Every structure is written in C-alpha cells, then in structure tokens.
Structure 1
Amino acid sequence: MNAAIRPISLTTPFPVGAVNAFLLREDPVTLVDVGPKLPDVWEGLADGLRKAGCEWRDIEFVVVTHPHVDHHGLLPRVLEASGATALVHPDAERRVLTPRLAAESDAMYFEPFLTASGVPEEIRALIAEHQRLLQEYVDGVDEVKTVEIGARLELGGREWRVLDTPGHSSGHLSLFDEEEGDLIAGDHLLPHISSNALLEAPRHPGGERARSLIVYMEALKMVAALPVKTVYPGHGEVFTGAAELVERRLRGYERRCSQLLGWLGERPHTVFELVRRMFPRLSRGNWFLAVSEIVGHLDVLQAQGQVGIEERRGLWYYRVGPGREVRSAAQSG
C-alpha cells in the first residue's frame, strides 16, 4: 500500500459496513469520498484527517467516486469546512447537486416498473420507504466541477487518469495511477462482495434505461486489462490481484445466468417469481437489490438472444426464446 494514500474507515448504518475515504496527502491535497451524513461519520472523518496531520483548509479537491449516499452524503459540510472543489463524473452531477429530486424521479419510474415485474404492493411500499429513508443521509450541494473521462488529473502529487466505471452506479469514476499501478476504485471492484449492478431510471423521461449489469461487466473487463497492482476499494481492505478477481466475478455472473435459464426452461416467470426462487429469505432492506440482481442477469440473457419477454395481463413474463416484444419500461424505460 502506498503511504501517500491514507485510508480513513468510516462507519455506516448500512449492511455493507464501513465505507472508505482516501486522503491523498501530497499537494494538491485531495479527499476521495466522504461518507454518509451522520454526526459520528463527520467526527470519524475529522479524526482521520487529524491523525494524518491534515487540516480541513489543506484540502483542495474532493473527488466523489459515485453518487450513493454512503460516499457523498457529507459533501456539503466537507466543502464548507475546506473550501475545496468537488470533482464528479458528468453523469453524477444531477444526483450530487439535487439528490432528493433525483430520488423522486426514480420513484415515479419504478412504481410501474416494479408492478409489471410482479412485485406485490406491500413489497413495493417497503422498497419506496427504504429509498426515501436513504435521503436522510445526504444533502445536495450548490456547485460541482465535472471531470472529463480519460483526463489526467494532478491530485495528491501524482497524475491520475479518470476511468469511466459504470454499472454499480451511473456516473461512477475510478482513478488510476498508471505509473504506480494504483487504482482508487470506489465500489467498482470490492474484495469480499460482488458490487450490485443497481437498476436506475432513464436519465431522461421516455429514454433508455441503462442495462446496468451489461455495462458493469464491460467496465470490469476494461479494468482487468489495465496494469493494476493495488486496488483501493470503497469498502473492505486494500488488495491486489484485480484481474483474477474480475475473472471470478464474471464466472459468477455466468453461473447465475445459467441457473435462471434453467428455471425459465421450466416455464415463463416474472421477475419477482425469480427473485423468490433465487433469494427465498430476504431482509426488508434487500428487495430492491434482489430485483436489480435478477433484472441485470435477464438483461444479459436477452442481449444474448436466449430469453424474451411477453406481456400478460399487465405483467412481464420472461421465457426461453425471443418472445413477443413489448413497448414497456422493461425494454426501453
């Protein structure tokens, strides 16, 4: 691990556990990610800076790897304390500036999407409530600076290339030091768990929704082809062996696709029926993660031409073969 990159572990109230911020200690001093909006997280971040011999006013830039509340919730307070400039992926700008408006737009999209996916009303209500509660851990900011994908930035006394690493979230960036082989990866690549390729609403009403798992797999392959030596992840310990880990993740997706294809060979299923078969015991906060997991793998199978979708009485059924095309959020958003 490079001594110039200082990890700061911050507690979160989420099942994933602690989130990592990273302090790049050389000029221009840079902080990557800041944790959720909670008093103890603020104290933990301040304590981490003190132990590194850094004061708030020393920080010139704050990089947000992606617009999830456990990574940018404290951003307004950090910017106020430091006077730093926030750097974000262009596709993350809206969610960092106005997270609640973005969440409201998502909710409007997902209600009919989940209904057609066969998700019962009580589960849809739990998902909506969970998504609403997440907004308690984040505030928007007045201004950010978007960074160009592929740009080389001088941060922490080193040159970093900005990588586009979508899938877990649109607007997810990673920083790669080509000389040292260091990758600050956010949640793109984690050592102990596979990052969920989360469903997202289309960026524009009536537009295409991203096929999150498909774009995530492509971004994983891109990272695996780079000369990465050390990965600094958003959760978990710093690790090596990025290419081998990516290969394991991809094999896992292949196995899950095969399992789903076997079930669809028995009979057509809704998304929710597949969720219940794949995850028979889910806790309250995991329903949306599970739906995202199933839809992502179905997207992969559709792109391969192995499954199709048809509509029956307002519900979408996935089946082996092409099926009948339906003009719906499952297809176009």
Structure 2
Amino acid sequence: MNQGHAVAVHRIEFGVDWPPGHVACYLVDAAEPVLVDAGTPQGLAGGEETATFRAGLAEAGYEPEDIEHLVVTHPHVDHVGQVPTVLEAGDPTVYAPAGVRERFARDADALADRVRANASAYGLTGETLDREVAAAVESLERDRDLLPPDRVDVWLEPGRVELGPLDATAVHTPGHQADHLAYLLDDDVLLSGDTAMAPFRPVLLHDGMDDGHTEAFPGAFAALDRLAEHDPERVYPGHGEVHDRLDEVVERDRGKLTSRLDRVESLVADGNDTLHAVAAALTPSVETRRMFSETMSALAHLEREGRIERETVEGVYRFR
C-alpha cells in the first residue's frame, strides 16, 4: 500500500513466464473500491492465478464481490485475466478504452485475412505464416471472452474521466497496444499499465500484424510526449517496480525507440533485406517470431521517413 496520497493503492502481483516474471494489477482503496486491470487468467502460468488474486484482495481487506469499479488499461491477457472472477462475484461498473469496442467487434475471419496478407507480403510462409495468423485470431477471441464487450459499461476516451469515486485523466498511450490508456489520479498517481515501466521498454505490439502495424512507432513516440506532460509523484506500472522516475523512464524509452530504428536501418544497410532476416539479427537471443510485429512496424516507419527503400520481388517486400 502506498501512503501519502488521497487514495491508497494496493498492488496484486502474478507470476508470468516472460520477463520480468510478473505482472501487477492495482486496487485503489477509495470511497468505492476501484480495481485497475485484473491480472492473469487461471492456468496461464502455474494454475494458481485465481487464488493469487483472491489473496491479494484479502490482504487489502476485500473480496472479488466488493469491487465496485473495474478499469482496464488495455485488453491483453495478463491484464484482463481475472475479469471473469470479478464479474461472476459481483456487479461492478466496468470501464475500458473506447478503441477496444471496435477492435473486439472485428470478425475473426477478416482479421485472419488481413494478417495473412500483411505477413505474406513481408515474406512469411508455410507453418510460420499459419502460426502467426492463428495466434492473431486466438488473441482476439481469448481476450474478448475474458473482457466481454457487452459487459463494459463505460467506453473511455482520452481526457478527463470519472472512474467511480475517482476523478482522473485518461492518457492515450499506444505502441505496446493501440488502445492503451494510462490513468492519472489527482495529478500525483499514475496507473500506467504497460507504459513507463522502470525495468525495460515495452515491446511494440500495437495491433500485431494487422494494418495498424504501420502506426506503432509514431504512436509510441506520441504516447511518450503525452506522458512527459505530467509529473506524478508515483507510477504504478503493470510490470516492474513502483517508481517516482517518470521523466527518466520516458526519456530512456524515447532513446531506446530511436536506437531500435537506427539499428533496423543499419541492419538493412548491411544486407538484411527481409523481415525475417532483420528480426533474426536484431535480437539473436530472443525467439525470432517474438520480434516480427515490432520489426514490421520499424521497417514501415523507416520507409515512410525515407530512411530505407522497399521493393516488391515476387510478391514479397525487400528492403534496402
């Protein structure tokens, strides 16, 4: 629990199988309890997620049925996993970014067609292509099952918002996820989701290999500009430690995004002319497929800026 603010913020942490090994959601102990994000679903990593969630609430003196307001930063599996637990236990008012409504209304076959077309143009074939298409559809269907759109009461646009008893500013922070909102309470508490994380810069997933991949880098830079306009005393991120270094982390992330673009440009100049070649060379210690979305976004951004050129050879993009 954090002391010294108008509200107390309790952190509930879950284990995950990717760095830094955990994800957090937060209970804001206001006049009416407000839960921001909801951790991982049962069985994602170890099978004790619901028990972990209940224990975290109990430490703050609550049970799932006590949650009166449930606020989502973005609809990734590790942030909406326990939404069903809360909905089954009670009747909270649910808030989510407005862009999620249109995203979740997407026809799965239409999404599969766009991802297949985009990934094919970037040179993915065979089992690799099929796996990426299947993963995109699975993500859409899983996440909207966890966060049923017909159960969302308030679709939030950026700007001043009311989250039950809390007056807040919703800050649009895309890049990691296209609809991502961070929430600033009383100008001193920032519930930042998967932005402004102290241990590392979030990977740019945005909308994966859908058509929005071209906007991931400009979106991420714009998100950092928006965050830099604020000066909270404490930042409560989805991964990593609670911290008071927003300015430092924003500038670090800005530098890392710039370095990533420079590195991709250099790899293309060195003769890596396909998505797969660039992604494999970019982070050799990381499974190549994990870098596809961000690398696609970087290549698209560099081409738009005129820093690299693209040609289509036998239906596949090649860069120089």
TM bracket, shorter-chain basis: 0.7 to 0.9
Distance 1:32 1:104, change over 3 A: farther
Q: Does 1:234 align with 2:238?
A: yes
User: Structure 2 CA distance, aligned partners of 1:66 and 1:103?
Assistant: 19
What is the letter of the counterpart of residue 167 of structure 1? G
Root-mean-square deviation (CA, aligned residues, Å) is 2.6
User: Structure 2 CA distance, aligned partners of 1:139 and 1:152?
Assistant: 24
What is the letter of the counterpart of residue 180 of structure 2? H
User: Structure 1 CA distance, aligned partners of 2:298 and 2:209?
Assistant: 18
8 Å contact kept, 2:20–2:240 = no
Aligned mate of 1:79, from 84, 87, 96: 87
User: Structure 2 CA distance, aligned partners of 1:196 and 1:296?
Assistant: 11
Q: Aligned with 2:202: secondary structure?
A: coil
8 Å contact kept, 2:15–2:23 = yes
Q: Aligned with 1:159: secondary structure?
A: strand
Aligned mate of 1:148, from 157, 171, 181: 157
**How far apart are 1:5 and its partner, in Å?**
0.5
**How far apart are 1:257 and its partner, in Å?**
2.0
8 Å contact kept, 1:28–1:154 = no
Q: Does 1:2 align with 2:9?
A: no
Q: Aligned with 1:298: secondary structure?
A: helix
Residue 250 of structure 2 corresponds to: 246
8 Å contact kept, 1:62–1:85 = yes
User: Structure 2 CA distance, aligned partners of 1:30 and 1:276?
Assistant: 42
Q: Does 1:164 align with 2:157?
A: no
User: Structure 2 CA distance, aligned partners of 1:192 and 1:102?
Assistant: 36
After superposition, where does 1:121-136 map in structure 2 within 5 Å? 121-131=126-136
Residue 268 of structure 2 corresponds to: 264
Normalised TM-score (structure 2) = 0.86
Distance 1:130 1:281, change over 3 A: farther
Residue 318 of structure 2 corresponds to: 317
User: Structure 1 CA distance, aligned partners of 2:277 and 2:10?
Assistant: 45
Q: Aligned with 1:307: secondary structure?
A: coil
8 Å contact kept, 2:174–2:206 = no
Residue 297 of structure 1 corresponds to: 298
**How far apart are 1:92 and its partner, in Å?**
1.3
What is the letter of the counterpart of residue 79 of structure 1? L
Aligned mate of 1:118, from 107, 118, 123: 123
Residue 114 of structure 2 corresponds to: 109
What is the letter of the counterpart of residue 22 of structure 2? A
Q: Aligned with 1:109: secondary structure?
A: helix
**How far apart are 1:9 and its partner, in Å?**
0.6
Distance 1:13 1:260, change over 3 A: closer
After superposition, where does 1:48-59 map in structure 2 within 5 Å? 48-59=56-67
Q: Which range moved further: 32-41 or 168-177?
A: 32-41
Q: Aligned with 1:232: secondary structure?
A: strand
